């Protein structure tokens, strides 16, 4: 399967205003719609808030950038509370290498972007949502 380019989504990220407070509020709204959902976030060390149901990840919300990755099966429910000024990447799988992007666009959206250095064997031509989560600041 050919990877889907996400260059347009990445270009939007740097044009929108966002703060840690916005991310925390967005996570709270998401959790309010999903009974049993909780957040996982180490405020001092992590740039992503993970919303989980048990051991399963529902979505990742970036703390400093207006960007959310969410599982498609939750998109209809969650779009009711996701702010319009947030870039959303809907995924079918966290691990499928379904996406591609221009390296310069990735580095502009995420200045601390470290692929492929952190994950040998991954490239901008085919990476997963989990790779993006892991390899971005």
Look-up of token digits 């957040």:
39
Residue 2 pLDDT > 90, yes or no? no
Whole-angstrom distance, CA of residue 116 vs CA of residue 110: 14
Query: Mean of the per-residue pLDDT values for the chain?
Result: 89
Burial of 36: CB neighbours in 10 Å, binned 0-12, 13-18, 19+? exposed
In the chain, what are the domain boundaries? 4-134
| pLDDT tops 70 at residue 116 | no
Dump pLDDT digits (tens) for 9-43: 999 998 999 999 999 999 999 999 999 999 999 98
For the chain, what is the total number of helices (H) and then of strands (E)? 5, 7
Q: Which pLDDT does position 43 carry in this prediction?
A: 83
Where does the pLDDT of residue 120 fall: very low under 50, low under 70, confident under 90, or very high at 90 and above?
low
> Largest Cα–Cα distance in the chain?
39
- Which DSSP category does 101 fall into? -
What are 127's strand-pairing partners? Answer: 99
pLDDT tens digits, residue range 40-89?
Answer: 999 878 899 999 998 999 999 999 999 999 999 999 989 889 888 899 99
Q: How far is CA 37 from CA 54, 84, 101, in A?
A: 7, 22, 31
């Amino acid at each position: 399967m050919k990877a889907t380019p996400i260059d347009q989504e990445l270009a939007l990220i740097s044009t929108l205003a966002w703060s840690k407070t916005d991310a925390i509020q967005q996570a709270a709204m998401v959790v309010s719609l999903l009974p049993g959902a909780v957040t996982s976030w180490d405020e001092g060390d992590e740039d992503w808030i993970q919303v989980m149901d048990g051991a399963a990840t529902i979505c990742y919300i970036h703390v400093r950038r207006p960007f959310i990755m969410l599982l498609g099966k939750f998109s209809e429910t969650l779009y009711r509370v996701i702010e319009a000024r947030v870039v959303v990447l809907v995924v079918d799988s966290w691990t499928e290498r379904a996406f591609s992007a221009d390296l310069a666009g990735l580095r502009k959206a995420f200045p601390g972007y470290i692929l492929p250095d952190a994950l040998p064997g991954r490239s901008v031509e085919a990476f997963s949502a989990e790779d993006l989560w892991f390899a971005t600041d």
